Amino acid sequence: MYRIETYDEKNRWRWACPHPKRHRDWRVVDGLFECRGCGETYSELVNLKSGERVPREQIEVVGPHAGHKGGMGKPTVEEP
């Protein structure tokens, strides 16, 4: 299980969307990751340090704004 601490910029910026441009402006919505950079939703993020694609269910998002970033659950938006 990976842990992304939203208050730790260095930790958070290690993760990007799977788009080839690797946007880092993502948030959790309805159990998926929504990238504000490309406007897509994804079920995984890329760990920029290792290059690994990590599915949402293996990532815990914590921090002062984690409560409104959405929890894991059944998605209410369709995956791309």
How confident is the model over 29-72, as pLDDT tens digits? Answer: 888 999 999 999 999 999 999 999 999 999 999 876 564 444 44
Top-confidence residue, 80 or 30: 30
Q: Is the confidence at residue 77, as pLDDT, over 60?
A: no
- Please tell me the predicted confidence (pLDDT) of residue 64: 64
Top-confidence residue, 16 or 6: 16
Q: Where are the domains of the chain?
A: 2-68
Residue 33 near residue 45 (C-beta atoms within 8 A): yes
Top-confidence residue, 12 or 64: 12
Which whole-number Å values give the CA distances from 2 to 28, 38, 46, 56, 80, in the listed order? 15, 24, 12, 10, 23
pTM of the model: 0.77
